[in-house]
A and B are shown apart, each in its own frame.
Chain A
C-alpha cells in the first residue's frame, strides 16, 4: 500500500497509471472494498458493523463500563439525536465501529455537548464516514425521518436529477429579486468526513478536488486559494467578495471535531467570473456554490449542474467518485444535508408581503424558509429576505429548484397584488415527497 501512496504523490507518473493506482488505492483502504460495495447496496446490509478492535484492555473496559454507564444525560436536550436515542439503541451500537474505527460516541458527541435551543431543533449528530449511515442506521434512520419530514430510508428511494433544462420560468423580475444562488456539498468516496479525517486524508481531499478543478475550462476556469498560504491582499479580496470562510466558531461544529488542524488543507476555489465557488474541507469535503446578481435562477442552476458534472467527470478520470447511494442520495457530514444537499435561494425584496400576517403561512405551504440576508441564524434587514427551499431529501435537485422558482414567482405575484391594493391567497400546501 505504501508504494501506491508514494506513486500517487509523484507528479511525473503517467495519467493512466494514476487511474489504476487510485482505484487500487481506494480499494486497499481498510476493508473499503466490501464497505463501498455494501454502502451502495443500502439499508440493512451492513447492519452488524464491525466490533471495536478487541484487546484485553478494551474487553475489560466493556465489562467495567457497560453501555448503561456511558449513556449520556439527555434530559435537558432538544435535538433530533436526543429525541431518538434510547438506552437500548445505545447498548446495541456502542461497541460497534465502521471499518475506519468511527464510533457512535463520536457521532453523537456534538449533540451531547450542545443541548440545543427550545425553539431551534438541531440534528445533534454527524457522520465520520460513508459507512456511519449503515453501521449506525438504527439511530440515523429515525433521526433522518425526524429531520426530513418522515422520509423513511428503509423503504424510500431518493431521486437525483441534475438536468437544468427542465426548469421553467426560471428568470425572476429583477425589481424584486436582487440575487440568486444554489449550493450543495459533495464527499469523496473512500476518504473519511471532516469530523473523522486525519491530516493525510484531508490533504488528499484537497489534492483530489484541486486537481479536478484545475481541469475546468471556459467560463468555469478558475483558481485555488489555500487558506494557509494566501497573502493579505488575496485574503482581503476574498473577504470583500464575501467568499472567504473562517475557522468555525459554532460549538455545533467544533464539538464535532471539524475545526481540527485548522487551516491545514482548507481553501477556496472560484472561477475567474466569480460566479462558481468551491469551499474545500470546511464542514464537508466540498461545498459547491453557483451564484450571480439578479434573477436568472435558471442560468445559475445551469452553471451549477454543468460545473458539478464536469467536476465529477474529472475525478472519475482519476479513479475517484462522490459518495452517493439510492436510499440517501449524496452523503454529507450532517444528516440534514443528505439527498440533494441543495439550498437554492434568492435575496428578494418583499416590503408589503413581509408585513402581511399570512406571510409565514404562505412560505410554509410553499415549503420555503426565510432567513436574514446574512444567512442562517441572521435577521432580515429592511424588507429583503433570503428565501430558499426547506427540503433536501426525497425530492430531486430539479424538483427543488422548480419549487423555489414557482414559490418565489408566487411571492412576487403576491407582492405586486398588495402594491395594487388587491388581495392575495394562501396557496394549498405542496406534497412532501413522491411516494
Chain B
C-alpha cells in the first residue's frame, strides 16, 4: 500500500517550491540530484505508488557526515530502479566505482570456483562470515510495503525454510512471539537483531509496524542464519569460528540456492536482472549484496603507515568487530570486500581470501621486525 499517495496533489506546486534544501548535505543523492532531474521525475511513480520524494526522504533527513558518504536514497520496489533511473544510475555509478547503465553484472554462486580459502591461519583469523540479501519478486520493499505484504513475505519465508534438511534443518523465531529464554539465547549467540534506531533506516520507513512479521531463522548447528523483514526481505548469513572461509562459502551458496528453489516453486523467485544483479533496498547492496569477511588479529599491520593503502589496493574495507560504524578492539578487525556490483560472488570472496592471506603473512613478518615493502600488492 502506497506510503505517500500525495503525489498528484503535490504536482500543483512547482518543482522549485518542492526541491529540498541540500546545501548542508554530504551523501550520494545530494551530490547527484539537480532541479532538472527532480523536475523530470517528480510526476512519476512506480505501479505501487513509490515516488521520487519517497526515494530521497532518508537522504534529505540525514545530511550525512563530512567523512562518511552515505547513499541517501532507497528503493521502494523493483521498479524504482527503472522508473527513477535518471537519479539512481548516477548514484550507482558513484557508489560502485563507475558502473555504467550498460554494464552487465555476473552472478556466480558456484562455490567450487573458489580457490583455497580453507587454510587461513586460525591463530589470526578468529571467525569467518558471508552475508547477502534477497528480495522476493512481486512484493514491495521494506520502505514501502504494507503489513499484509510483510506478513505474506514472512509466511513464504517460513514455508521455504521449513523445507530445508540435513545441515540446514532449523527453526524460525518470530520477533513478536519468542519466549524470554529464546530471546536470551539468541542474544548470547549474537543472532538477535533489534528495531532499527539508525535514522538512516527509520527515516526511510523501514521500522514501521515493528515487530510485526519480523523474525530470525537459524539451523540447529547455528552456522546458517536468515533475518526476515529487517532492512531487506531476507538477509542470509553463513558463519563459523576459525578461518575456513571455503566451508562458510560452500554452505552459503548451497543454502541460498536451496532457498531460491523453494521460492521459485511458489512462483516467487528473487528479484534479479542482468544489469543490477540482485535487487535490494539500498543501492549500495546491488549486485551480489555480498559482504564476506573475517575477524582477524592484525595489531602490527593495522598500525603500519601503509595499512589503508594496502586495503584499498586489495579492494577490502575494515570495520570494528561490532560491525559497521564501530571501532576495533585489541587489534582485531573485521575485514571484508568493498565491492558489491560488477564482480561475482566468487570474485569477491576470492579477494577476501587472497587479501587476508597476504595480510596475515605481512603481520607475521612485522612480528619478526621484517619489512613488508616488497609484499605491497598492486591495485586490483
Contacts and interface: CB of A to CB of B under 8 A. Distances in A.
A97 B61 contact: no
A190 B208 CA distance: 28
B13 A201 contact: yes
A112 B6 contact: no
B167 interface: no
Given A113-B207, A261-B61, A30 B9 contact: yes
B195 to A, nearest CB: 9
B146 A65 contact: yes
B17 A228 contact: no
A261 B18 CA distance: 11
Given A260-B57, A262-B61, A101 B202 contact: no
Given A65-B148, A228-B21, 4 more contacts: A69-B151, A109-B208, A198-B6, A204-B17
Contacts of A259: 61
A73 B176 contact: yes
B13 A254 contact: no
Category for how many chain B residues contact A: 35 or more
A23 to B, nearest CB: 16
B20 interface: yes
Nearest to A101: B5
A199 B61 contact: no
Given A57-B47, A228-B21, A113 B1 contact: no
Interface string A188-204: 00001000101111011
A89 interface: no
A70 B5 contact: no
A57 B209 contact: no
Contact of A6 (B14, B18, B151, B207): B14
A5 interface: yes
A101 B8 CA distance: 9
Contact of B6 (A70, A101, A204): A101
Contacts of B9: 29-30, 99-101
A65 B209 contact: no
Nearest to B151: A69
A58 B47 CA distance: 8
A57 B5 CA distance: 13
Contacts of A6: 14
Contact of B209 (A64, A113, A198): A113
A58 B49 contact: yes
Interface string B1-33: 111111111101110011111000000000000
A226 B126 CA distance: 53
Interface string B318-349: 00000000000000000000000000000000
B121 interface: no
A28 B12 CA distance: 9
A7 B6 CA distance: 24
B226 to A, nearest CB: 22
B223 interface: no
A233 interface: no
Residue picked from A102, A200, A259, most chain B C-beta under 10 Å: A200
Interface string B182-217: 000000000000000000001100011110100000
A40 interface: no
B55 interface: no
